Structure 1
Amino acid sequence: MDAEIKAEFERNGFLFQEEEEQILQKCLSMCINYSLSPSDLVSNWEIYYLNRQLSGLVLESSHMDGLLLYIQNDMKEKLIKEEPHLHIYSSNDVDMLLNDEHDSNKEDNFESPSCLHERPFSETSNGSSTPTTNEKPSSSKNSKIINDRITPFGQRINKFVSQFTFNTQNQVTQSRSQELENEDDDVIRRVQPGERCSLHIHSSQPEPGCRFMFDRVEDRFNYLENRIKRHALAYAASGLHGEVTDATLASQNSMFAVGMVCSDGEGCLNGKSILLQGSVEHSGGQRVRLDLEKLDQFSLFPGQVIGIEGHNPSGHCLIASKVIDLMPYSDVTSLPPAKRQAIDHQPNSEPSMLRMLSMVIAAGPFTTIDNLLFEPLTELLAYARRRQPQLLILMGPFVDSEHPEIKKGTVDRTFDEIFHVEIIRRLQDYTEFMGSSARVILMPSTRDANHDFVFPQPAFDIHLPEGMKNQIAFLTNPVLFSANEITVGCCTVDILKQLSSEEISRKPAGAHGDRIGRLAAHLLNQHSYYPLYPPFESVPWDLSLSPEALEIPSIPDLLLLPSDLATFVKVLTIGEGNEGETIKCICVNPGRLSKGIGGGTFVEINYNGDPESTNASVIRI
């Protein structure tokens, strides 16, 4: 093709003297990237040549950069004419977003999901809702600025689409944000503060600035041994099973053993490689092979602590007749008050507001892979301004170490500068706009480039202005907290995806199982945010810090598990409480706010006392 390009230039009177190979290589790249034929490229060169009033007919390498900009701007103008709803982000747009200007143009450009409720919807076959009318187009006034850039994120027509709604049949009480969503007066919304939610942290370990990479074999041994012993004590206290015995002893009688599932090799579990490791107290830490042929159903993974009913006639293989994977909860209703850390002492004075909470939940990355403009985060905050939730929960990564520009080292700012400018400043503007009633929670991820690479992970150590300290809270990973007496557990490590690749299961013929729900239930059954052992190589597990931080002491009302798996909102049923009632927990995977070069998903929840009357929506940007 480079020969055709050269021939076309010479046919039109243009000559090559120096740097011919370099010029042809650039021309070839233009043809490939912008789908141009040699004749189209030469036509664009002639227009550029005449407009710039260049002299001479000799092609120079210095002319190629100007020709490239001309072609880019020409293609951009054609796209604007063909796609009236296409938004072209320019340097003016970026300045507007960073300065958080509250004007009418911004309200038009950053339309919130509340606008979707103000016009008719059409239901698709998969239950998602799409607007029946087009949105107001927005475009940049200065489309010829060199810094203009067409981002695929800006090419969407519908900014927010309700992808899935949980409990649509229940008529939940409208929150203040829903009552105000039709109000267009920005000033009115600012001077009407909403109800402020209470916030308590049940654990805050490890502390910021802690020392890590001092993990010892002894720490891991003690952690695993204590897990097995706690399960054995809980099974014994329940009175539903026999006395815990040594599974490695040969016996024709039925026995009940407690131990940890492990593999006899390096690979994943299979039906022939499953071993049960007992505690030092009952079996000296020895292992025995498990035979699961008699079981109709089971779900096992390495590191899972289970109870086994069966017999071991030879002393070398435990033939299982029943597997118990749920460790009983001694008290599912409360935590010891000593473990609670109050963020403030301003609970809601109205009893009717207790056990009611409106939340918007999102997980990173918060910017697309083609830039560091954080456009999805800007859209999310615009949505939150409209809906006015009491609590905005943001989970990392914020400065994603997997972002192409960060991995290549091409950014001209430090990671801390990116975090403060792109994240903290936007959140400060958000809280100032929303007033004192708004609350924001930030949780780190092991993928955050500006934070400690360790799990469990301390909170961000950020010094905020005095006015913001009671509105923006930095929590550990994982964490258990409560807001308006609603307990929320959260872990930003993608444990669901890791369990899905390690789990081995069997279900009865013809039975339909919920695999995602089963994976999430494993965490509650095991009382652990990370029950998998050995951990994935990507997880910097350090048990010298705070192994109790990985424990789930009680079943939370909400369990937030951001993952690369499919976004979902599910109600999990976990055993029974002290009086025989069924205990339920809403498990949420908000997905990723950005996926590749496009927008992702987040979740809005209105919790109203219990899962049956709670409404949740998965929103796709």
Structure 2
Amino acid sequence: MSVSFEDISDELDVFGEDVDDSQLQRLQDICQSYSINANELVMQWMAFSSSRKVDLNLDNIEVFEREWLPKKLSNSQSTPKAKGKAFLNKNTISSALEDQLEIIGSYATPEEKSQIAQAAKRQLTPENNNARNKRFMGVNGSPSVKTFSPTSLSPASATPSAKFSSRSNSGETVLKFGNLSGHSWQGEGQGCNVSFYDTSSCLTSHMKYMFQKMMDKAGALNEIIEDISQSLQNAHGIEEFGHLALPSQELVTVSGRICCDSIGRLNNQSVLLEGSRDSSAGKSISLDLSELKQYSLFPGQVQAVDVFYTLYMLAFGREKASTKFNHAFFLPFFFLHQPAKPLRMMVAVGPYAPSDGLDYSPLSDLIKVINRDKPDCCLLSGDLPDTYEEMFNNQMEEISRATKGLGCKIIIVSSNRDAHSCYSVYPQPPYSLSTHFSDGSKVNLIFVSDPATLVINGVVVGLTSTDILMHLTKSEISIGQQSGGLDRMGRLAQHILHQHSYYPLYPAPDDVNIDYDMWETAARLPVTPHILLLPSDLKAFAKDIEGCCCVNPGRLTTGLVGGTFAQILVDTLALRSSSLPVAACAVKIVKV
């Protein structure tokens, strides 16, 4: 299989990975050895690097090829020829995870197998684990919480990350979007009014889940088909939708949800269109995409399609119908009365500590920027991976105290990646504090659910902390240039706005547990927001998506190194007079 440097570089660029020629050469060799394409290679690399918390370099690429790919690509055609070089040593064995020792052992000599057995014993010995985590444990076996200071949110016992502290690009602006000349990025910390766009869709911290009935789930999924179909009918002037399963001698327009005809990733031969109960009795039809020059589809997407499905086709087993997609459209923007002063926001997404410890220096550095630039509000998404409830409360108190005198509102968005939260459901309710701050400083903290639609000084802000962009890019099939000349990132953000949902993908990945009763209430877009915040492991961006300002601020840390955050400036006077909110917005993506 021929894979070029450009193919691999383009796929890595989506995830914000920098790569040099020597690394590209090694990755290209791996593609040829395993007969895989650039997309599959990069997907495997991102899974490996995320689970191991490692950076892209030649040493880690060697470990990736040696320990990861043989397990993930286990069929005989994907096994490379033996290269005759030793792969077991003290470092590789000791760093291997328990579920990787078995696959390593299958390649080992008898002497090496004894080393592996000893390594497994060390990993599984409780005494070793206790000793290794001793500095994080209290006398009762619970996480030990040390004294925090306003200038450093890390426990006193936490060791600073050498790689993070030695960075030289702190404060560097990596991306600029929009142009609001005459306005300063530094504000006065004047504060802002924050409210929910629709209080009836707000989740509470005491909500119950895991009581979902299959009929209710089916009803919610059917409702979204009918709602978007009705919107498409009005937008395109469609007289009525036809029945999916009834053959017709004429071209008819039908609507339904995109599905896959089997278990696995969607491809151009496995696309089904499933109709609603009312229009098509829930029937489905296979779609023929062979004559289409452009499309972008993912499971769960609702589409209106022109089909030609005759009795002749049915009689001779040609079950696929010719297709032409009618493009979806956005919900309208909703403009409220805005104050005269510009709105300055800061957006940061966890993890807030490097992966090698509990040193929260990145969060401390962010708070220094908040104190310096004095934004009106700061949105912090969760993802504090080693945090438990008591530590979470302490961190919230320190954040609140450090920003108390600014008048800045700190908006905390819940995340299912937080260890202290017991909610493993989407949509996720807001956090709540189990303690009260002694000085009453928590008045500047606002806890919101994931997702949420907020109104901040008249600016409608939509946000979700769940990485829907990553989930979509793993599920989508696309060909040709899409409308508006959007790149992949823009196209993914456009799907969310076109489908009127913060999470339109169905079925969701195994680690996203959706309660469809709550999803129907809290995860639908009531309007197109002026600003849409979509945090992701993918490359940070700020884009104009048909007038909506869509921003991925990146993550504050990525592995052992510092990441990025976003600063957003909104000219509220220009927003009031413009029909396209993006014209009144400017964005900076900044290195922490």
> Does structure 1 retain, via aligned residues, the 8 Å contact 2:294–2:480?
yes
Structure 2 Cα separation of the partners of residues 481 and 159 of structure 1: 30
1:512 shift after superposition: 6.3
Structure 2 Cα separation of the partners of residues 259 and 214 of structure 1: 27
1:513 shift after superposition: 4.6
What are the Cα deviations for residues 459-491 of structure 1, in whole angstroms up to 9, with x where unaligned?
Answer: 001255584454210001000001111000011
Structure 2 Cα separation of the partners of residues 359 and 323 of structure 1: 38
1:147 shift after superposition: 8.2
| Residues 533, 325 of structure 1: alpha-carbon distance in 2 compared, 3 angstrom cutoff | farther
| Residues 312, 172 of structure 1: alpha-carbon distance in 2 compared, 3 angstrom cutoff | farther
Structure 1 Cα separation of the partners of residues 430 and 518 of structure 2: 13
In structure 1, the partner of 2:566 is 603
Alignment of 1:455 onto 2:426: yes
User: In angstroms, what is the RMSD of aligned CA positions?
Assistant: 2.9
> Does structure 2 retain, via aligned residues, the 8 Å contact 1:310–1:318?
no
> Does structure 2 retain, via aligned residues, the 8 Å contact 1:278–1:284?
yes
Structure 2 Cα separation of the partners of residues 514 and 394 of structure 1: 27
What are the Cα deviations for residues 242-277 of structure 1, in whole angstroms up to 9, with x where unaligned?
Answer: 311102111120111010000110011111110000
In structure 1, the partner of 2:101 is none
1:319 to 307, 318, 321: 321
Instruction: Give, as a single letter, the amino acid of the residue that structure 2 aligns with 1:445.
Output: S
In structure 1, the partner of 2:534 is 561
Instruction: Give, as a single letter, the amino acid of the residue that structure 2 aligns with 1:201.
Output: F
> Does structure 2 retain, via aligned residues, the 8 Å contact 1:206–1:546?
no
Structure 2 Cα separation of the partners of residues 444 and 215 of structure 1: 21
Structure 2 Cα separation of the partners of residues 334 and 618 of structure 1: 26
Query: 1:352 aligns to what SS in structure 2?
Result: coil
Instruction: State the number of aligned residues.
Output: 431
In structure 1, the partner of 2:343 is 357
Structure 1 Cα separation of the partners of residues 567 and 330 of structure 2: 31
Alignment of 1:389 onto 2:375: yes
Unaligned stretches of 5+ residues in structure 2: 1-89, 96-144, 576-580
Instruction: Give, as a single letter, the amino acid of the residue that structure 2 aligns with 1:332.
Output: F
1:216 shift after superposition: 2.4
In structure 2, the partner of 1:215 is 212
Instruction: Give, as a single letter, the amino acid of the residue that structure 1 aligns with 2:196.
Output: I
In structure 2, the partner of 1:417 is 390
Structure 2 length as normaliser, TM-score? 0.68
Query: 2:403 aligns to what SS in structure 1?
Result: helix
Instruction: Give, as a single letter, the amino acid of the residue that structure 2 aligns with 1:450.
Output: H
Once the two structures are superposed, the pairs formed by residues 279-428 of structure 1 within 5 Å of their partners are: 279-313=276-310, 314-315=313-314, 317=319, 319-327=321-329, 329=331, 331-333=332-334, 351-353=339-341, 356-398=342-384, 400=385, 406=386, 415-421=388-394, 423-428=395-400
Once the two structures are superposed, the pairs formed by residues 22-33 of structure 1 within 5 Å of their partners are: none
Instruction: State the identity as a percent.
Output: 30
1:591 to 554, 558, 570: 554
Structure 2 Cα separation of the partners of residues 256 and 495 of structure 1: 29
Structure 2 Cα separation of the partners of residues 146 and 394 of structure 1: 25
What are the Cα deviations for residues 229-248 of structure 1, in whole angstroms up to 9, with x where unaligned?
Answer: 11222233335223111021
Q: Name the one with the larger strand percent.
A: 1
In structure 1, the partner of 2:176 is 165
Structure 2 Cα separation of the partners of residues 148 and 241 of structure 1: 64
Structure 1 length as normaliser, TM-score? 0.65
Instruction: Give, as a single letter, the amino acid of the residue that structure 1 aligns with 2:192.
Output: C
In structure 1, the partner of 2:66 is none
In structure 1, the partner of 2:257 is 260
What are the Cα deviations for residues 165-188 of structure 1, in whole angstroms up to 9, with x where unaligned?
Answer: 1125x41422553xxxxxxxxxxx
Query: 2:583 aligns to what SS in structure 1?
Result: strand
The structure number with the bigger radius of gyration is: 1
| Residues 362, 146 of structure 1: alpha-carbon distance in 2 compared, 3 angstrom cutoff | closer
Alignment of 1:195 onto 2:190: yes
> Does structure 2 retain, via aligned residues, the 8 Å contact 1:291–1:317?
no
1:158 shift after superposition: 3.5
Structure 1 Cα separation of the partners of residues 176 and 586 of structure 2: 7
> Does structure 1 retain, via aligned residues, the 8 Å contact 2:203–2:449?
yes
| Residues 308, 147 of structure 1: alpha-carbon distance in 2 compared, 3 angstrom cutoff | closer
Structure 1 Cα separation of the partners of residues 344 and 396 of structure 2: 22
Structure 1 Cα separation of the partners of residues 214 and 327 of structure 2: 26
| Residues 309, 471 of structure 1: alpha-carbon distance in 2 compared, 3 angstrom cutoff | same
Query: 2:249 aligns to what SS in structure 1?
Result: strand
In structure 2, the partner of 1:529 is 502
1:320 shift after superposition: 3.8
> Does structure 2 retain, via aligned residues, the 8 Å contact 1:556–1:585?
yes
In structure 1, the partner of 2:150 is 100
What are the Cα deviations for residues 340-366 of structure 1, in whole angstroms up to 9, with x where unaligned?
Answer: xxxxxxx98xx422xx31011000111
Structure 2 Cα separation of the partners of residues 241 and 147 of structure 1: 63
Structure 2 Cα separation of the partners of residues 146 and 564 of structure 1: 29
> Does structure 2 retain, via aligned residues, the 8 Å contact 1:235–1:328?
no
| Residues 328, 298 of structure 1: alpha-carbon distance in 2 compared, 3 angstrom cutoff | same
> Does structure 1 retain, via aligned residues, the 8 Å contact 2:397–2:442?
no
